[in-house]
Amino acid sequence: MKRLRSLLFTWETLLVLLLLIGCVIGSILSPYFLSGFNLEYALPSNIMEIAIMALPMTMIIIAGEIDLSVASVLGLASVTLGFLWERGNPMWLAIGAALLVGVVAGYLNGLLVTKLALPSLVVTIGTLALYRGLAYVILGDQAVSNFPTAFTNLGFGTIPGTQFPWSVLIFATLVIIFAVILHFSRLGRQLYAMGNNKEAARFSGINVNRIKLILFVLSGGIAALAGIIFTSRFSSARPDNAVGFELDVVTVVLLGGVNIFGGRGSLLGVILAIFILGVLQNALSLVNISGDIQSLAIGLLLIFSVLGPNIARNIQAVIARRRFAVGSSKQA
Amino acid sequence: MTTTSQDVERTRQRSHVNQARLISRVSRVRESGLLIALIFIIIVVGIQAPRFLSVDNFVQILLSVAILAIVAVGETLVVLTRNVDLSVGSMVGFTAFVTAYFFKELPGINLLLGILLGCALGLILGIVNGLIVSFGRVPAIVATLGTLYAYRGLVFITAANTTSQVNASDVPAGYLALATTQILGIPALILIAAIIAIIVGYFLRSSHAGRQLYAIGSNPDAANVIGIRKERLVFGAFAASGLLCGLAGVLWGARYATVDATNATGLELQVIAAVVVGGVNIFGGSGTILGAVLGAIVLGTVENALNILNISQFWLQALYGAAIIGAVVLDALITRWLQRTILARRKKA
Amino acid sequence: MYSSKQISKGSFFLPKLKRFNPLITIVRRAISPVKLTPEEWIKVIKPAEPIVELHGISKQFGGVQALRGVDFQLFPAEVHALVGENGAGKSTLVKILAGIHRPDEGSLKVDGKAIELRSPTQAQSLGIAVVQQEPMLFPDLDVAENVFMARQPRDRFGRIDWKRMYREVDQLLASLDVSFSSHTPVQGLSIAEQQLVEIAKALSIQARVLVLDEPTAALSAHEVDELFAIVKQLRERGVAILFVSHRLDEVFAIADRLTVFRDGTHIITTPVSQITTEETIKHMVGRELSNFFPKGEAEIGEVVLEVRHLTRPGVFADVNFQLHRGEILGFAGLMGAGRTEVARVLFGIDQAANGEIWLKGKQVRIRSPQQAMNYGIAYVPEDRHQQGLIMNFSIATNITLSILQKVSHLGLINPNQEQQIAQEYANQLSIRTSGIGQLVNALSGGNQQKVVLSKWLATNPSVLILDEPTRGIDVGAKAEVHRITSDLASRGLAIILISSELPEVLAMADRVVVLHEGSISGTFTRSEATQERVMFAATGQDR
């Protein structure tokens, strides 16, 4: 009985419920919502980049850090790709360079955080502006869009015999890899240990700084991959690609039940949150609410995913105190 | 024996005096350093392009900096308490749009009433931030990242339900004149910014609440022990930041005349850059209004110089990012160096 | 380190002091050689009414009784020393006076009126000022603002009157004869100077009670002299001073009366002139030995670890010792003597500036905990919650955190192996739990400590450093930890036991190394080591 109740009140159960409610509302709002095309094509892929970047972000936040520069790294990688392609370089080189740029950007974040012992929050606010700025420096207000179909198929084309785009396959593979790392590997265990208590982690022989560096490099690399997918999906490399996506990524991770101070959370929750965000955006788009206004909903979602548990805890504390007061007055 | 011990004592005292001087010199070095950097930029750019040196151009720089400076003043209040307000750009955008729309719909309205409306709107948004951070105990960065987008969403909703854009021809001339009027030959915009900076600077210097903002940022536990009400003051800082964003929004509408839902997007990065370049410690506890305003002026001057030297404006954002990183890294290195120097001196003493 | 001669140099400053009241001094000097009973003594030099009076104060922290019904009185114009071993309850008493903790039982009177101290601000308003060991100041602000924060003087327009504030603080500082000014930023001040800022703060609120909690722990000899001159001067002004310390030479140099606490109980209060250092130490250390499990027989083998001239500037200097297989080497000393600091260097958390570490005949450099672990060194840290455990992790995951490499294959953790190893240790150390999946934050202190022990035994170390392994755990668990420690030694482990509980060290250790202010002040074999001898070495007394 107790176990059943504790299962009913986990954050993940709440998210499943939220997802179902979202689907019901979505299908009431629009008859197209539950159509096969919408479910298979639009739902998972319209927020593909956010979904992919949320994976390393989950790890970073669980380890007690944050990376706000991901959307800018995405933009910078996208621009690098476009710039090199436009100059007549082969596609593989452009893709490789874009990934490298992401890794280097992440490495710089990691260096500033570990070598100078600066909080990642401050560092990545700075690089959020810096990397986006570099993207503008490289391409200015131009856009590159004459990509080969083989490349744009990555985003547009579907896996033969299904209606799933190729990017869904990439996402699914990444989810499996990240789930294994986070929940079954040594590194994953160390991440949780760091997020709970960095000092105790250090006293247990965990190389905290090296792991932080790895995380930021990973985050940069994945953001670059997201940049490549974004470029492919929209067939366009522009310096303002994915501006503000860091909001969505952080929102998804916190909504997924990951504690902002680190140490707690699961990938399952984040995956559910990704789907909730997908459903939300999809439903809002179907009723013709523009992306700019959608950000209102997402901003509120972000705040409430932290505020909600805080308030719940406060209420619990008040109830407990009242119960205690009643108990002690009885004794007296 | 006595002479030696007196000698030791004297050296000790001297080393203490030196140490105190060293620290106050370093803490003041930021503002003078900024001034020197400013003069250096002015000379270098002036040689390249003499028209940069005209009085008219300097007035232009100050005009372009005025609104940024007002917002930076509010941001300073928040940053001093070890928090950050990322939503400033959206608050400015919201109030600018609503104020301009208000004047468009009710052209006959009293100018002052419109200004008050804008300020009140900003204040409300700031109060919401303050409530979430102070009493909801949501980390400032998460709360204001959320409201950055939520408030921007509000602008778009307002715009979608009214008019997508307010043009200069739509609003009364009296409103636009806010930005162009001159008082005693000085543009009103610059005067307003200066007055705001002086008032808030005075508040930080001469009121108990002002000093307590520093105390909270410098050592929250110690502040708690002596009975400083941290929640209230942090709430107040966010509310004040909102109020100043409201005023900045009113002026933004007047200055740029044409406002749409995207105005002042990304302003938060400029503001944070100005504040940290101006020597306000991003971890709270130290920094001055003068520093923040100087930081804004330096950034504005650089922007103007890029313009005059025909360097692409696309460098600007990278510059803001580099400025934030540079200032924070510099602070970290200076602190480290200072600690090491003091330790070494003490060991010798 | 400081002889009484050095301290009397403090009188050199006396003529400079302001508001000097010669009468009291003359009276005190006139009567001090006369032997009086404590009651008579109080009647002669003190007014009849104490400023602060504690009666039957008890305080418990999660199963550990910190104070048991203590009585305590503090009179105006006295320096009252409170002494006792670590854990005797001194700090708890200080925190109760500071308004930080509230007693579970007992009453507190200020000026004869019963008062409930609820907050530090309330304590301040009653004229009780506490100078903590680590001063709580605002590093970014200057001295004057630190003194007056939240109560800066204001002019008639309500503005802060900076001129007046600096003037008043300068006056305060002048009376304290310090070498910094009201404009000096606090972040450059030494701990000693920061304490002086706290004292200036106490003066500015016209404190009638000044509590100094281990004020000399971080001070140089010269700084101690300066502090004492100020304390004497405050006494002349009628301030009651509670001087908490375990440095007896200082206590005897400055205090009028002293009180000894032991295990949270009040042992004795007496005029300083009526008691000797030897007697005081006897009162401090007279603890029961019966609860301790003596070390069993173990064959002492070859040298496993040798440390030569190990130095970390400002922390410890020239530390030398050898540790043998099967041996328990006790590290005794007072708080801040440098014991934990040596352990941190051995475990690679901090780096030594000079000196050599030899492991099994080879010289090694230990740069990180990972390296230390590879060399077979394990460290059970003093702070279980902050350093030893991940409180939100289960017993099993805590135990295997140090051996993740061992229980994983290709980077993936083998859950069966993990459970098996964890279960093995849980059984071996008889951790009482509903299962090894239980979170450690739900365990008792003793069981938590056994989890930490398991975690380090799992690394199969050859050198085990135990830092205060029985702090804050109940008597039964203590005995178990002792049995386990003894067991490990008999199986050939080389163990360093850092403990502030002398009986524990004496019962467990084959040899005892005593540290005093960062250097070794004595090494005793088991038969040589008595509580008195060790305490003498730990307090830096020559014998």
Which residues in chain B are contacts of C192 at CB distance < 8 A? none
Percent of chain C scored above 70 by pLDDT?
88
Check whether C255 has a pLDDT greater than 90.
yes
**Could you give the CA distance from residue B99 to residue B114 in angstroms, rounded to a whole number?**
6
**Could you give the CA distance from residue C195 to residue C201 in angstroms, rounded to a whole number?**
10
Stated as kind and residue range, the H or E segment containing C107 is: strand C105-110
Which residues in chain B are contacts of C160 at CB distance < 8 A? 205-208, 211
Mean pLDDT along residues B209-236: 92
Residue contacts between B and C (CB atoms, under 8 Å): 89
Among residues B210, B290, B196, which one has the least CA distance to residue B248?
Answer: B196
Rounded to 5 degrees, φ, ψ at C459 are -75, 0
Stated as kind and residue range, the H or E segment containing B193 is: helix B188-206
Tokens 């000797």 -> residue: C276
Which residues in chain B are contacts of A134 at CB distance < 8 A? 318
Identify whether the C-beta of residue B255 lies closer than 8 Å to the C-beta of residue B190.
no
Contact across the interface for B321 and A66, Cβ inside 8 Å = no
Q: Cα Rg for chain C, rounded, in angstroms?
A: 26
Check whether C427 has a pLDDT greater than 70.
yes
Check whether C474 has a pLDDT greater than 90.
no
**Could you give the CA distance from residue B275 to residue B291 in angstroms, rounded to a whole number?**
8
Which of B146, B160, B329 lies closest to A293 in CB terms?
B160
Which residue of chain C has the CA closest to A209? C368
**Could you give the CA distance from residue A9 to residue A2 in angstroms, rounded to a whole number?**
11
Contact across the interface for A196 and C404, Cβ inside 8 Å = no
Which residue of chain C has the CA closest to A203? C387
Identify whether the C-beta of residue C222 lies closer than 8 Å to the C-beta of residue C48.
no
Mention every residue, 6+ apart, whose C-beta is less than 8 A from residue B346. Answer: B15, C190
Question: What residues of chain C, 260 to 299, have a C-beta less than 8 Å from chain A?
Answer: none
Mean pLDDT along residues A109-133: 93
Rounded to 5 degrees, φ, ψ at C393 are -95, 160
Burial of B71 (0-12, 13-18, 19+ CB in 10 A): buried
Alpha carbon of A207: minimum distance to chain C alpha carbons (Å): 7
Alpha carbon of B305: minimum distance to chain C alpha carbons (Å): 35
**Could you give the CA distance from residue B166 to residue B178 in angstroms, rounded to a whole number?**
17
Contact across the interface for B346 and C141, Cβ inside 8 Å = no
pLDDT the model gives residue B195: 95
Tokens 């990691």 -> residue: A110
Contact across the interface for A199 and C391, Cβ inside 8 Å = no
pLDDT the model gives residue A284: 80
The alpha helices in C109-265, defined as continuous H runs, are 120-125, 143-148, 162-176, 191-204, 221-236, 248-254
Mean pLDDT along residues A80-106: 94
Check whether A311 has a pLDDT greater than 90.
no
Mention every residue, 6+ apart, whose C-beta is less than 8 A from residue B28. Answer: none
Q: Both tokens of residue C538?
A: 């730990």
Contact across the interface for B149 and A298, Cβ inside 8 Å = yes
Average pLDDT, chain B: 85
Contact across the interface for A185 and C411, Cβ inside 8 Å = yes
Which of B149, B157, B314 lies closest to A244 in CB terms?
B149
Rounded to 5 degrees, φ, ψ at A63 are -80, 0
Q: Is residue C238 classed as helix, strand or coil in its secondary structure?
A: coil
Mean pLDDT along residues B57-62: 90
Which of A302, A310, A311 to mutate to test binding with chain B, by most B CBs within 10 Å of its CB? A302
Q: Centre a 10 Å sphere on the Cβ of residue A146 and count the other Cβ atoms it contains.
A: 9
**C-alpha angle C384-A261-A124 in degrees, rounded to nearest 5:** 125
Contact across the interface for B218 and C138, Cβ inside 8 Å = yes
Q: Centre a 10 Å sphere on the Cβ of residue A137 and count the other Cβ atoms it contains.
A: 18
**Could you give the CA distance from residue C350 to residue C366 in angstroms, rounded to a whole number?**
9
Identify whether the C-beta of residue C141 lies closer than 8 Å to the C-beta of residue C185.
yes
Q: Centre a 10 Å sphere on the Cβ of residue C47 and count the other Cβ atoms it contains.
A: 12
Identify whether the C-beta of residue C499 lies closer than 8 Å to the C-beta of residue C292.
no
Alpha carbon of B11: minimum distance to chain A alpha carbons (Å): 34
Flag whether residue A150 sits within 8 Å of chain B, measured between CB atoms. Answer: no
Contact across the interface for B211 and C120, Cβ inside 8 Å = no
Range ranked top by mean pLDDT from A23-32, A58-67, B18-27, C440-449: A58-67
Mean pLDDT along residues C402-425: 92
Range ranked top by mean pLDDT from B82-86, C181-185, C201-205: B82-86
Longest dimension (CA), chain C: 82
Identify whether the C-beta of residue B249 lies closer than 8 Å to the C-beta of residue B124.
no
Which residues in chain C are contacts of A197 at CB distance < 8 A? 386, 389-391
Q: How confident is the model at residue A203 (pLDDT cuts 50, 70, 90)?
A: very high
Stated as kind and residue range, the H or E segment containing C54 is: strand C52-61
Which of B13, B206, B215 lies closest to C138 in CB terms?
B215
pLDDT the model gives residue B55: 86
User: pLDDT tens digit string along A216-252?
Assistant: 999 999 999 999 999 988 889 999 888 889 889 999 9
Least confident range from A52-56, A71-75, A131-135, C111-115: namely C111-115
**C-alpha angle C479-C481-C483 in degrees, rounded to nearest 5:** 70
| DSSP per-residue string spanning A261-308 | TSS---HHHHHHHHHHHHHHHHHHHHTT--HHHHHHHHHHHHHHHHHH
pLDDT the model gives residue A23: 81
Strands C303-312 and C128-131: what pairing?
Answer: unpaired
Taking the C-alpha atoms of A316, A322, A327 and A330 in order, what is their torsion angle to the nearest 10 degrees?
A: -170
Check whether B1 has a pLDDT greater than 50.
no
Which of C16, C122, C138, C219 to mutate to test binding with chain B, by most B CBs within 10 Å of its CB? C138
| DSSP per-residue string spanning C361-405 | TEEE---SHHHHHHTTEEEE-S-IIIII--TTSBHHHHHHGGGHH
Rounded to 5 degrees, φ, ψ at A35 are -70, 150
**Could you give the CA distance from residue B62 to residue B296 in angstroms, rounded to a whole number?**
9
Q: Centre a 10 Å sphere on the Cβ of residue C453 and count the other Cβ atoms it contains.
A: 26
Q: Centre a 10 Å sphere on the Cβ of residue C279 and count the other Cβ atoms it contains.
A: 13
Check whether A39 has a pLDDT greater than 50.
yes
pLDDT the model gives residue B77: 97
**Could you give the CA distance from residue A139 to residue C229 in angstroms, rounded to a whole number?**
71
Q: Is residue B30 classed as helix, strand or coil in its secondary structure?
A: helix
Which residues in chain A are contacts of C397 at CB distance < 8 A? 189
Alpha carbon of C25: minimum distance to chain B alpha carbons (Å): 26
Q: How confident is the model at residue A265 (pLDDT cuts 50, 70, 90)?
A: very high
Contact across the interface for B218 and C160, Cβ inside 8 Å = no
Which of B6, B11, B15, B23 to mutate to test binding with chain C, by most C CBs within 10 Å of its CB? B23
Which residues in chain C are contacts of B212 at CB distance < 8 A? 149-150
**Could you give the CA distance from residue C471 to residue C449 in angstroms, rounded to a whole number?**
9
Identify whether the C-beta of residue C38 lies closer than 8 Å to the C-beta of residue C274.
yes
Alpha carbon of A73: minimum distance to chain C alpha carbons (Å): 29
Check whether C134 has a pLDDT greater than 80.
no
Q: Centre a 10 Å sphere on the Cβ of residue C450 and count the other Cβ atoms it contains.
A: 29
Which residues in chain B are contacts of A64 at CB distance < 8 A? none
Check whether B241 has a pLDDT greater than 90.
yes
CA B342 to chain centre: 31
Q: Both tokens of residue C60?
A: 């418990």
Which residues in chain C are contacts of B227 at CB distance < 8 A? 119-121, 150
Check whether A138 has a pLDDT greater than 70.
yes
What ipTM was predicted for this assembly? 0.84
Average pLDDT, chain C: 84
Mean pLDDT along residues A17-23: 84
Contact across the interface for C140 and B211, Cβ inside 8 Å = no
User: pLDDT tens digit string along A146-187?
Assistant: 888 878 777 666 777 666 777 788 888 999 999 999 999 999
Contact across the interface for C413 and A200, Cβ inside 8 Å = no
Mean pLDDT along residues B278-293: 90
The alpha helices in C99-190, defined as continuous H runs, are 120-125, 143-148, 162-176
Mention every residue, 6+ apart, whose C-beta is less than 8 A from residue A75. Answer: A131, A132, A135, A227, A238, A239, A240, A241, A242, A243
Range ranked top by mean pLDDT from A181-190, B180-189, C495-504: A181-190
Neighbours of chain B (3+ CB pairs under 8 A): A, C
pLDDT the model gives residue B3: 42
Rounded to 5 degrees, φ, ψ at C66 are -85, -40
Which of B17, B211, B338 lies closest to C149 in CB terms?
B211
Check whether C31 has a pLDDT greater than 60.
no
Q: Is residue C133 classed as helix, strand or coil in its secondary structure?
A: coil
Q: How confident is the model at residue C184 (pLDDT cuts 50, 70, 90)?
A: confident
Burial of A230 (0-12, 13-18, 19+ CB in 10 A): buried
Burial A147-161, CB ≥16 within 10 A → b, else e: beeebbebbbebeee
Least confident range from C20-24, C83-87, C163-167: namely C20-24
Mention every residue, 6+ apart, whose C-beta is less than 8 A from residue B85. Answer: B74, B75, B78, B129, B140, B144, B238, B241, B268
**Could you give the CA distance from residue A276 to residue A150 in angstroms, rounded to a whole number?**
31
Flag whether residue A163 sits within 8 Å of chain C, measured between CB atoms. Answer: no
Least confident range from A16-25, A109-118, C292-301: namely C292-301
Which of B5, B16, B213 to mutate to test binding with chain C, by most C CBs within 10 Å of its CB? B16
Which residue of chain C has the CA closest to B216? C138
Contact across the interface for A186 and C404, Cβ inside 8 Å = yes
Range ranked top by mean pLDDT from B35-39, C153-157, C402-406, C442-446: C402-406
Q: How confident is the model at residue C192 (pLDDT cuts 50, 70, 90)?
A: confident
Mention every residue, 6+ apart, whose C-beta is less than 8 A from residue C434. Answer: none
pLDDT the model gives residue C9: 34
Stated as kind and residue range, the H or E segment containing B342 is: helix B315-348
Mention every residue, 6+ apart, whose C-beta is less than 8 A from residue C74. Answer: C50, C51, C52, C53, C80, C209, C240, C242
Contact across the interface for C158 and B207, Cβ inside 8 Å = yes
Which residue of chain B has the CA closest to A111? B329
Check whether A188 has a pLDDT greater than 90.
yes
Mean pLDDT along residues C336-350: 91
**Could you give the CA distance from residue C311 to residue B21 in angstroms, rounded to a whole number?**
32
Confirm whether pTM is higher than 0.90. Answer: no
Contact across the interface for A307 and B321, Cβ inside 8 Å = no
Which residues in chain C are contacts of A189 at CB distance < 8 A? 397, 401, 404, 413
Identify whether the C-beta of residue C134 lies closer than 8 Å to the C-beta of residue B213.
no
Contact across the interface for B227 and C188, Cβ inside 8 Å = no
**Could you give the CA distance from residue C386 to residue C481 in angstroms, rounded to a whole number?**
20
Identify whether the C-beta of residue C241 lies closer than 8 Å to the C-beta of residue C210.
yes
**Could you give the CA distance from residue A173 to residue A178 in angstroms, rounded to a whole number?**
9
pLDDT the model gives residue A328: 45
Alpha carbon of A162: minimum distance to chain C alpha carbons (Å): 33
Which of A132, A254, A294 lies closest to B317 in CB terms?
A132
Q: How confident is the model at residue C111 (pLDDT cuts 50, 70, 90)?
A: confident
